[in-house]
Structure 1
Amino acid sequence: MEDNIRNSDRAPLPVGLYPHARKVGGLLFLSGVGPRKKDSKNIPGVELNDKGEIVSYDIETQCKSVFENVRMILEDCGSSWDKLVDVQVFLTNMKDDFSTFNKVYADYFKDIQPCRTTVEINALPTPIAIELKCVAEVSS
């Protein structure tokens, strides 16, 4: 099974013991991907106070960063953006963020239109407002 584990050198390291992705048959399953940048504690679009709590955030900036992280992982793990077949979206504030997220999502996904599920959750493991879980086709 270990030979099915895939990781990206360009994406931020996972925050736990899991790979960026795992290849099973002709599919690539990505672990949850957030907006963090590689080798940085800085989260695009997020302002934290001294206690590490969110003071403010920009959902559009976070969306764009998440989408770029997903793109890097796909490319580095043997797939590509146009091979996405399913996207699960986790938002921490559906009421305030959904319309902006949906607009940015439409710009990025209009040509490929993968299946999508969007849910609101109470919190994510780091101070972020969005995380994506994706499935894509992959070559052998």
Structure 2
Amino acid sequence: MTKRDVVFPPGRQALYDKNHYSPAIRANGFLFVSGQVGSREDGSPEPALEAQVRRAFENLNGILKAAGSSFDDVIDVTVFMVDPQATFETIWKVVPEYWGQAPYPTLTAVGVTWLYGFDFEIKVIAKAEQQTDQ
């Protein structure tokens, strides 16, 4: 079995341990980041949608930074939105604050009915430098 090269952002490992998943895994020059929601340090959601989207991006950027990457390295994005017809415009007002300049990453947007109390989730694949064995 291949050893997983897991990337943890500072201060949030307990959240991932509690929920039994890795925030990101580095493999073959790529960084596969688990979906990030607008959760506060205690795991609770930001109540306002715009704040929730910003927090999701901040949580994502924390993982990218821990891996030595940034959003500029992101190749593929999947976003999940509860009730996209009602939330899309609000969400997409916030996205350009984090997206950067063209060329943009690829994007898949999915409407869902439930995100464990959240309204927005973002999952990415980014280019990452391969780590050497320590």
Structural mapping, 1:15-94, within 5 Å: 16-38=19-41, 40-44=42-46, 46=47, 58-94=48-84
Structural mapping, 1:126-137, within 5 Å: 126-137=116-127
Does structure 2 conserve the Cα–Cα contact (< 8 Å) formed by 1:85 and 1:135? yes
Counterparts in 2 of 1:41 and 1:22: CA distance versus 1, 3 Å: closer
* Equivalent residue number for residue 103 of structure 1: 93
Counterparts in 2 of 1:41 and 1:25: CA distance versus 1, 3 Å: closer
Counterparts in 2 of 1:134 and 1:93: CA distance versus 1, 3 Å: same
Query: What is the Cα deviation at residue 24 of structure 1?
Result: 1.0
Query: What is the Cα deviation at residue 3 of structure 1?
Result: 4.2
Give me the identity figure in percent.
28
Does structure 1 conserve the Cα–Cα contact (< 8 Å) formed by 2:71 and 2:98? no
Where structure 2 has 5 or more consecutive residues not aligned to the other structure, the ranges are none
Q: Which amino acid aligns with 2:45?
A: I
RMSD: 1.7
Q: Which amino acid aligns with 1:26?
A: G
Q: Which amino acid aligns with 1:23?
A: R
The separation in 1 between residues aligned to 2:21 and 2:63, in whole angstroms, is 14
Q: Count how many residue pairs are aligned between Structure 1 and Structure 2.
A: 126
Deviations 1:66-103 (A, max 9, x none): 00000000011232121111110000110111011112
Where structure 1 has 5 or more consecutive residues not aligned to the other structure, the ranges are 47-57
Q: Which contiguous aligned blocks of 4+ residues in structure 1 show a shift greater than 3 angstroms?
A: none
Query: What is the Cα deviation at residue 106 of structure 1?
Result: 2.1
SS in 2 for 1:89: strand
The separation in 2 between residues aligned to 1:104 and 1:37, in whole angstroms, is 18
